[in-house]
Structure 1
Amino acid sequence: MDGKIVQVIYQDRFAIIKMNAGENRFNLSFTQAMNRALDEIEARSDIQAVITTSTGKFFSNGLDLDWLNKQSESTRQKSLYESGVLIGRILTFPIPTVAAINGHAFAAGAILALAHDYRVMRTNHGWWSLNEVFINRRFAPGWLQVLKDKLSHDGVLRQAMLFGKRFTAEEAVKDNIIDECVAHEILMQSAKKLIHQLGENKQYPRATLGLFKRDLYAKAYNLLNESPKSKL
């Protein structure tokens, strides 16, 4: 694995994806490194669950706009497309997934967290926020569908998407954006506990679990795998 961008750490039967690229912004290098991590994990039959986390101030700060603005149109479209495919892959990954949100999760980074089956967030540090309205970036259809699928209340979606509210971990729990908020010291422990609550050492049939996820999120998955028709 490329330890400079994304690292996979194995603990017991957990695969921990550790994003090491600072703000972990989405560009081609980042999405390709994430996909290599998922390939590596999927090739191992002993893995019970996947936990995605980061170090430092950010979980992910969304699209790498500075990088995108310097690229050709074809490279921009390729990067947007691969970013959507990555979200769709995590959304329907055939192994249970948890986002252990250690810091800020903004824009595409907030949706990256939502794409996981479960989410646990560090208290007193970081926001979950869709700030696209402030940077004039429209949601592509697939990304928008993830928001509709994952945010259970229209009022939450209104505040998050239309008005760019910054949710603290405590507010995100209250509004069912995340499942739990805990102190940083027990973030990983709590992420593992969420999986253990499904059943100690339970391993789901991968083909079936992946198929069920694609059934549940069919519209989002199909849209995310289409060529991008509008900018995020």
Structure 2
Amino acid sequence: MGEFVRLEVDSGIGTIRLERPPVNAINAQVTAELAEAAKEASERSDVRAVILYGGEKTFCGGADVKEMASRSYVEMRRFGTGLQTTMAEVAAIPKPTVAAITGYALGGGLELALTADRRVAGDNVKVGQPEILLGIIPGAGGTQRLARLIGPAKAKDLIYTGRFADAREALSLGLVDEVVGADDVYAAALAWASKFAEGPAVALAHAKAAIDGGLDIDLAGGLKLETHLFTALWATEDQKNGMRSFVENGPGKATFEGK
């Protein structure tokens, strides 16, 4: 368990919780601890879905600007590379992930939320990539994941202006998938994570790998990847349990019972 980031596991759900008051700013230690939590969540068999959470007040206000301002080019190059690597490790967790966004998700905070498979936001949240106002650009995946999620034109609007979007706009942009009351964010994320955790773990991991991997290659390559991952499931209990339930119960009534 880290000083600022910890993994809490309960009933198959792993919650990666940031706790560095007042806004969970990301520094070198947070980056390292986040990578450790992502690795642990990936490897633990009792974790079947993951929630990214910054607490009731705020998700993550971004990178620690005071710390960054004093860094040299060489130091920042090292930190930036490490932060990119950490975000990639969170994105690559081979289990469904849900970001529970409260308060602010800005800069690196929004980039962390973008690594999740689904994003649930409170109705009072503010999200954005304000790096341009500091004379820099997003450096932890914002220029890439944001453009892939909402399209280049909308991503350029947010990145070029550095403005904040409220919950309603974030939903309309497709930046978040659901907006709930400010006090209900974690519960809503938990509901989704619990639903995912009840499903076939290996099949879900393959689905995630096919979708995410396919986005980085052309259609022909993506279809080959899909075929490989699709047929590989015939060597798993997920496939046997799922199809047995379909045969026994019929379409629309099959339930997955394997774990």
**CA, structure 1 residues 167+217, in 2 after alignment: closer, same or farther (shift >3 Å)?**
same
**CA, structure 1 residues 141+167, in 2 after alignment: closer, same or farther (shift >3 Å)?**
closer
The percentage of aligned residue pairs carrying the same residue is 23
Amino acid across the alignment from 1:92:
A
**Which runs of no fewer than 5 residues in structure 2 stay unpaired?**
218-259
**CA, structure 1 residues 207+194, in 2 after alignment: closer, same or farther (shift >3 Å)?**
closer
For the residue of structure 1 that corresponds to 2:59, the secondary structure is strand
2:86 maps to: 86
In the alignment, the residues of structure 1 paired with residue 88 and residue 39 of structure 2 have an alpha-carbon distance, to the nearest angstrom, of 14
**CA, structure 1 residues 42+175, in 2 after alignment: closer, same or farther (shift >3 Å)?**
same
In the alignment, the residues of structure 2 paired with residue 123 and residue 172 of structure 1 have an alpha-carbon distance, to the nearest angstrom, of 10
Cα displacement string for residues 97-117 of structure 1 (whole angstroms, at most 9, x for unaligned residues): 111001101112111111111
For the residue of structure 1 that corresponds to 2:31, the secondary structure is helix
Q: Does the 8 Å CA contact 1:105/1:129 hold for their aligned counterparts?
A: yes
Q: Does the 8 Å CA contact 1:91/1:213 hold for their aligned counterparts?
A: no
2:11 maps to: 12
How many Å apart are 1:149 and its aligned residue? Answer: 1.1
Cα displacement string for residues 70-126 of structure 1 (whole angstroms, at most 9, x for unaligned residues): 2344332111111111121222221111110011011121111111110001112x3
Q: Does the 8 Å CA contact 1:99/1:191 hold for their aligned counterparts?
A: yes
More helix by percentage: 2
Amino acid across the alignment from 2:160:
L
1:147 maps to: 146
2:40 maps to: 40
For residues 1-232 of structure 1, what are the structure 2 equivalents within 5 Å?
1-2=1-2, 4-22=3-21, 23-55=23-55, 57-124=57-124, 126-140=125-139, 142-152=141-151, 154-196=152-194, 198=196, 200-205=198-203, 208-209=206-207, 211-218=209-216
Amino acid across the alignment from 1:193:
A
* Superposition TM-score, scaled by structure 2 size: 0.75
In the alignment, the residues of structure 2 paired with residue 43 and residue 92 of structure 1 have an alpha-carbon distance, to the nearest angstrom, of 12
**Which runs of no fewer than 5 residues in structure 1 stay unpaired?**
220-232
Cα displacement string for residues 137-195 of structure 1 (whole angstroms, at most 9, x for unaligned residues): 1244954111211124x442233112223111122112111000111332122112234
In the alignment, the residues of structure 2 paired with residue 217 and residue 6 of structure 1 have an alpha-carbon distance, to the nearest angstrom, of 29
Q: Does the 8 Å CA contact 1:53/1:101 hold for their aligned counterparts?
A: yes
How many Å apart are 1:210 and its aligned residue? Answer: 5.8
**CA, structure 1 residues 115+25, in 2 after alignment: closer, same or farther (shift >3 Å)?**
same
Compare relative contact order (CA 8 Å, sep 6+) and give the higher one, 1 or 2.
1
